Structure 1
Amino acid sequence: MRPPAPRPPADTVADPVLVLGAGPVGQTAALLLARRGVPVRIVDTRPERDAVGSKAICQQRDVLDVWDWLGAGTIAEEGLTWDTARTFYRDRELFSVRLPDPGASPLPPFVNISQSRTEQVLDHLLDEAGVRTLWDHRVTGITQDDDGVDVECATPDGPVRLRGSHALACLGAHGGVVREALGLGFEGTSFDDRFLICDIRADLPGWERERRFYFDPEWNPGRQVLI
């Protein structure tokens, strides 16, 4: 089933929903609101879309299903999936695990695709829906009252106050200001290991549906390599 065309906002709703964060989560939320005729505006701290790095590269079937309904089925079509996980120590295979797909859905269980490509596809749909993104707007404060919210932003031209019916925080690890205003924490742990991630297009016969993890490979000793 295809999604309905974006409906014009209802006349009784004057202020848009302010989606804070223009990553895939914010983009998807804005598209779902626009499909239901809710006025929406996206706010992001970056000066423009930065198509760099793999970032969030793994997308599960339930997410692919939402994107397919919105008209972004190409994400599932372009992404890579696998069903066999092989683990090696140097060049000796230790074990392998198969992840069979019961075939209950036409979509793959998950795909690997660069976040920059995902954002590119979703940006095209946002343009079609007439959803505007305010770039170079760093959220510095947020307050609410009975009628809506005020979001304070720092811009190259000075401070700006945005009025919205609601604010939807899609800022991930960078949403400290909003979480502090709501009294929310962001608990978790991190580690010091660093990984170099490369997106490479290659023909690897027999590897098309495999993920391989190497510990201390002879061709890159003392390191870990995930392909």
Structure 2
Amino acid sequence: MTTTDVLVIGAGPTGLLLAGDLAAAGVGVTVIERRTTESNLTRAFAVHARTLEELDARGVADELVAAGRPLASLRLFGSVALDLGELPTRFPFLLVAPQYATEQVLERRALAAGAVITRGLKVTGVRQDDTGAEVDTVDDAGAVATHQASYVVGTDGHRSAVREALGLSFPGESAVLSVVLADVRMTEPPEHLLTADSGPAGFVFTAPFGDGWYRIIAWDRDRQLPDSAPVDLEELRALMVTLLGTDHGMHSPRWTSRFHSDERQVERYRVGRVFLAGDAAHVHSPAGGQGMNTGIQDAANLGWKLAAAVQGWAPEGLLDTYNAERHPVGRTVLKTSGTLLRMALLGSNAARGLRNVLVKTAMSLPAVARRATGMLSGVGIAYDAPKGAHRPAGERAADVPLVGGRLYELLRAGRHVLIPGEGAKATVDGRFETGVAAEPGDTTLLVRPDGYIAWAGRDASSAQIDAALAAAGLTA
């Protein structure tokens, strides 16, 4: 029997960021992972701007950026380009970095903060009551154990044992079958960082990991095989030659896999003291590279709220806001990534030509292009304004310059940040940070630890600021 404040099931990027946040806040956290060793393989490789902002608020973004390759624009269909260079962020690009690099950065942070990671345990049961939860596990030798915690979070992927133990359905459908993944070397690498093309024969996408290995994602319309069917490198070569005109000298695969891409979302992300995040709560098509990013942002939303609940200062209903805020985001990602996938896999030349014209026309409109890049990158994601508050409450906080630094550096303390407007006087309390804007305006902002605005007020009085702090649970 082991006991901790929070049990996190799954040591992928979602679980590791959550564990790091909890441990940094002084909350006891144990991560249970079925894998016995760290994986050197990867499915995800795209880190979007909003995820990098969340990592920046934890002091690890620059380390990951140094390990990847930034891409300032994306080619969607044919000649249609999506310009990320105008995003209002320190990270106006998509970072191409293997998932294992993201996991390594987050694991080092979690361990340094005091999180415990236990590997080689399979979850066999989850129980809970009004006072806590228990998780049963078994290891490879057959030894069983029970782990107690105040809260449990399932970040254990699309086949989540936690979700199954809760008896939650995972409604949705398979969007595309027989998608092939392969990590290969290339003697004649593509000129562009990301290469993608589609046609009547199917779809091919290539991306470099930056260490000499390349990821290939391919779908052959005429080879719809079960997931268990082995991947033949010759089928990949033939499809690449058909769609790209070359196989780029592909050779020496270190890993191949065939899978079907599902679009599913659990009906609710919380059941009592048990939560779901990442692929345990939602899975999407790989189009747009949204899966890992959405999971990491789930964790950023949930971590500070769980810490507040464990430490006893959470306002009533705070834990319920996790589902209220993140479930609609997951639903939107399902729709947008599914639309991108279906557009990419159009079969006829006429349909693809019409698609290219329509998308190019839409992207030529600045407002449409800004919305598209904002949603894809995550910087355009906003939550509903809390009851009694008004915009920009609920929106992402920009990384405004402060006297002696910037907002996201101050967020590294893991607490709310109050930025008083010009002339406003704030109450000082140990549960939040106070920053002075380098160019103060008349708006006072209260920014949550996940970088979203909790409250905003123009020409705010001290009484208004104190009331906003009290509503956030930050004053006695």
Q: Which amino acid in structure 2 is aligned with residue 37 of structure 1?
A: G
Determine if contact 1:81/1:111 at 8 Å carries over to the other structure.
yes
Equivalent positions of 1:40-79 (< 5 A) are 40-52=29-41, 54-73=42-61, 74-79=63-68
Give yes or no for contact 1:148–1:165 (8 Å, CA) kept in 2. yes
Give the Cα–Cα distance (whole angstroms) in 2 for the partners of residues 221 and 86 of structure 1: 23
Report the CA distance shift for 1:115/1:199 in structure 2 as closer, same or farther (over 3 A): farther
Give the aligned partner of residue 104 of structure 2.
120
1:102 corresponds in structure 2 to 86
Question: Which residue in 2 is equivalent to 1:5?
Answer: none
Q: Which of 181, 194, 198 is the equivalent residue of 2:179?
A: 194
Within the candidate set 139, 147, 153, 1:168 is matched to: 153
Tell me the SS of whatever aligns to 2:27.
coil
1:135 to 119, 122, 125: 119
Counterparts of 1:200 and 1:114 in 2: how far apart (Å)?
A: 15
The verdict on how the C-alpha distance between 1:195 and 1:102 changes in structure 2, with shifts beyond 3 A counting, is same
Would the aligned equivalents of 2:21 and 2:110 in 1 still touch at CA under 8 Å? no
Change in Cα spacing, 1:132 to 1:46, as seen in structure 2 (3 Å) is same
Q: Distance in 2 between matches of 1:141 and 1:195?
A: 33
Q: Quote how far apart the aligned CAs of 1:85 are.
A: 3.9
Q: Paired residue for 2:25?
A: 36
Q: Which residue of 1 aligns with 2:195?
A: 212
Deviation readout 1:64-122 (Å, 9 max, x if unpaired): 1111222212113322232444478xxxxx42323242242111342121111111111
Partner of residue 239, structure 2:
222
Alpha-carbon distance, 1:201 to partner: 8.7
Report the number of matched residues: 204
TM-score, length of structure 1 as denominator length? 0.77
Q: Per the alignment, do residues 49 and 153 of structure 1 end up closer, same or farther by CA in structure 2, a change over 3 Å counting? A: same
Q: In structure 2, how many angstroms separate the alpha carbons of the residues matched to 1:158 and 1:119?
A: 28
Partner residue in 2 for 1:151: 135
Give, in whole Å, the separation in 2 of the partners of 1:55 and 1:45.
Answer: 17
Moved more, 99-108 or 195-204: 195-204
SS in structure 2 at match of 1:165: strand
**Structure 2 CA distance for aligned equivalents of residues 222 and 100 of structure 1:** 30
**Residue aligned with 2:69, SS:** coil
TM-superposed deviation, 1:220? 4.0
Aligned-partner Cα distance in 2 for 1:170–1:118: 16
Q: 1 CA distance for matches of 2:187 and 2:148? A: 48
Residues 84, 94 of structure 2: 8 Å contact kept:
no
Cα pair distance change 1:129/1:201, threshold 3 Å: farther
AA partner of residue 106 (structure 1): R
Is 1:31–1:70's contact at 8 Å kept on the other side of the alignment?
no
Gap regions ≥5 residues in structure 1:
1-13, 89-93
SS of structure 1 residue aligned to 2:52: helix
Provide the C-alpha distance between the structure 1 equivalents of 2:194 and 2:67, rounded to a whole number of angstroms: 17
Which has a greater percent of helix? 2
Which amino acid counterpart does residue 156 of structure 2 have in structure 1? L
CA contact (8 A) 2:136 2:144 kept: yes
Task: Give identity over the alignment, percent.
Answer: 26
Structure 1 contact 85–212 (Cα < 8 Å) conserved? no
The code of the aligned residue for 2:67 comes to E
Aligned CA distance change for structure 1 residues 75 and 178 (closer, same or farther; 3 Å) = same
1:10 is matched with: none
Q: Give a deviation string over 1:174-225, Cα, whole Å, max 9, x none.
A: 21x3223323222233333232332669997963xx53223469x9443456
Rounded to whole Å, the distance in 1 between the matches of 2:190 and 2:154 is 43
The 3 A distance-change label for structure 1 pair 29 and 203 is farther
Higher relative contact order (CA 8 A, sep 6+): 1
Aligned partner of residue 95 in structure 1, secondary structure: coil
CA–CA distance in structure 2, aligned partners of residues 142 and 179 of structure 1 = 9
Runs of 4+ aligned structure 1 residues displaced above 3 Å come to 83-88, 199-206, 214-217, 219-227
Structure 2 segments unaligned to the other structure (5+ residues) = 205-235, 249-476
Contact 1:76/1:108, CA 8 A, preserved across alignment: no
In 2, Cα distance between equivalents of 1:125 and 1:200? 31
State the Cα distance separating 1:47 from its structure 2 match. 1.3
